[in-house]
Structure 1
């Protein structure tokens, strides 16, 4: 059991949601090598990507309510920075030594695969702090505008995860200001059934129509030019995508349980799944595993395997053995910071 007590129904709901989302992350990454061969896996992948990244950012914003400012905020920013440095280094070293991947440019300015989320998380927090004098509505309006405008930049959108930082910023701000009490009032049985039907309908439409949105739109990591859209009105496409993501995300909420359960405890350790599952995905990608996946039934084994591994990585024993790397202590850095500011303050008085 986690040492952190459950504080409120809202926290319980969002912890359950966070675990279901990390489950989607693992499944989505696990089936990615199959999406060009199996229509079912392509449809599942597309369905997952219509909501899981925006919702994950939304949940992250929700949990930032209590640690955005003050020493708690500084501690989180330091910890995320250390996580970024550690795992950017580890994944790059694995590519060079174990996987021997060719023609990949490794740089701390170009986040490696899933590490983009850490770089963007720092950006979301800093941007929200910069907008603290604005109202929630103004912050959302500004963030949506920035999310649309960033696509027009004539640069590589992956640099410092700048594209994803601004594209998903509205979801972080929405989560930060979100009131669970209002959602709870709306989550009636009828509303849940309706939302679930919308989610299933969306999957059916993707499956039957063969809908294929360019991954760069869903990932949010490419500019309009990189997506081969040089029209002056390309930003309208992003606004339409925002609408799709909001509908898909809201519909997914219908399956999230509100009560405390094992999911809630697993939801406290999603960071471990997030940072560690990439190693499993990389090993699977270079193994002969996917050569044996030739139909939907064998692909189902991959999905089930991803679910089982997500649960395994959520165990307390994983946290026990990996916490020094995943949640490195930053007290020494905070102490140095306090001494430095204390020294500057004392010097300024003379």
Structure 2
């Protein structure tokens, strides 16, 4: 095996490990959300998670997208994202009305349902990268940051078409797409990783002490500056400050990620199943009334353990075999129809 192939394999292992660790934080963050208003410890954990988990998740998505951005592979991924969006937007909306009875949610295909914003934005990130294909790396990153700042000035609800999050997180997708694992591995050796992990703990401590009044909307990326109560002309500077926090917290969290192959690496290949399915579990927990009985350290520890174990369970091969047609629907028939139509076109 050549050195380049070895580095590529190590990079894939690292990012699969990271992807699984991030989906754990996604599940945990959604599971503890009902508790953050009444438990300071859960609020601190929630704030810490949101300081890095979505930026890093987008970065990882960009890293893996470079193998399937263009050509037939790219078209197939876009078609599959569209199918996933239609299926799960319909499922979650139908269950909201019939079983979960959740209010204050836009049930529209033009307003992605909660976690499904990621699918809509993922498709847009790919299309934007295709459009920027001939630009230099510096130009792409500069445009992405400028767009992420500028989108906050729009006078509309950022949830529609996931327009706000698409541009707010675009810089991380571009960075992930161009990420050089060889350079990263060269500089981030054992002692650097230990220092980074320690700094991640320090960030958690600082957020626990100083973050009680921090407006969470800035970390969600889904709202405009007007919605966040920042109507000043210089509100874009706040976005840049949030970017600085997210980049710092993300780099620090990377110190926790192992380079070695393990079971976690295999679980990282099926995080899509966890991402699209865990919302059903969180919703069922919410309507069950279980959160009314969680008010102490033992209860929260049990909740965290259940979230972690559920993540592992949903990442098992058996779940993929059972639910593959729904989570990863085949789009070959769409491609066949397209080719047939093109052949018949004069």
Fold agreement, TM-score > 0.5: yes
2:68 aligns to what? 67
2:258 aligns to what? 257
Describe the superposition over 1:247-274 as per-residue Cα deviations: whole angstroms up to 9, x where unpaired.
1000000010111110000000000000
Task: State whether residues 51 and 245 of structure 2, in contact with CA within 8 Å, keep that contact through their aligned partners in structure 1.
Answer: yes
Task: State whether residues 57 and 168 of structure 1, in contact with CA within 8 Å, keep that contact through their aligned partners in structure 2.
Answer: yes
Contiguous gaps of at least 5 residues in structure 1: 1-5
- Cα distance in 2 for partners of 1:103, 1:177 equals 39
Question: C-alpha displacement at 1:216, in angstroms?
Answer: 1.5
- Cα distance in 2 for partners of 1:54, 1:105 equals 25
Match of 2:201, SS? Answer: helix
Match of 1:165, SS? Answer: helix
Alignment of 1:204-223 (within 5 A): 204-223=205-224
Question: C-alpha displacement at 1:7, in angstroms?
Answer: 6.2
2:321 aligns to what? 320
Match of 2:229, SS? Answer: coil
Match of 1:18, SS? Answer: helix
* Structure 1 position 22 matched with structure 2 position 23: yes
Task: State whether residues 106 and 113 of structure 2, in contact with CA within 8 Å, keep that contact through their aligned partners in structure 1.
Answer: no
Match of 1:235, SS? Answer: helix
- Cα distance in 2 for partners of 1:7, 1:182 equals 12
Question: C-alpha displacement at 1:326, in angstroms?
Answer: 0.2
1:3 aligns to what? none
Question: C-alpha displacement at 1:100, in angstroms?
Answer: 2.6
Give the 3 Å change call, closer, same or farther, for CA 201–318 of structure 1 in structure 2.
same
1:269 aligns to what? 270
- Cα distance in 1 for partners of 2:210, 2:226 equals 27
- Cα distance in 1 for partners of 2:105, 2:198 equals 43
Alignment of 1:29-178 (within 5 A): 29-178=30-179
Task: State whether residues 38 and 296 of structure 1, in contact with CA within 8 Å, keep that contact through their aligned partners in structure 2.
Answer: no
2:190 aligns to what? 189
Match of 1:230, SS? Answer: coil
Provide the TM-score with structure 2 as the length reference: 0.96
Match of 1:275, SS? Answer: helix
2:282 aligns to what? 281
- Cα distance in 1 for partners of 2:213, 2:55 equals 19
Match of 2:100, SS? Answer: coil
1:236 aligns to what? 237
Question: C-alpha displacement at 1:101, in angstroms?
Answer: 3.0
Match of 2:67, SS? Answer: coil
Question: C-alpha displacement at 1:105, in angstroms?
Answer: 3.0
Question: C-alpha displacement at 1:340, in angstroms?
Answer: 2.4
Provide the TM-score with structure 1 as the length reference: 0.95
Match of 1:259, SS? Answer: coil
Give the 3 Å change call, closer, same or farther, for CA 189–282 of structure 1 in structure 2.
same
Describe the superposition over 1:1-28 as per-residue Cα deviations: whole angstroms up to 9, x where unpaired.
xxxxx96110000000000000000000
Match of 1:66, SS? Answer: coil
- Cα distance in 2 for partners of 1:342, 1:235 equals 50
2:249 aligns to what? 248
Question: C-alpha displacement at 1:169, in angstroms?
Answer: 0.3
2:4 aligns to what? none
Give the 3 Å change call, closer, same or farther, for CA 88–20 of structure 1 in structure 2.
same
Task: State whether residues 110 and 161 of structure 2, in contact with CA within 8 Å, keep that contact through their aligned partners in structure 1.
Answer: yes
- Cα distance in 1 for partners of 2:192, 2:35 equals 34
Give the 3 Å change call, closer, same or farther, for CA 327–7 of structure 1 in structure 2.
farther
Alignment of 1:298-337 (within 5 A): 298-337=299-338
Give the 3 Å change call, closer, same or farther, for CA 210–170 of structure 1 in structure 2.
closer
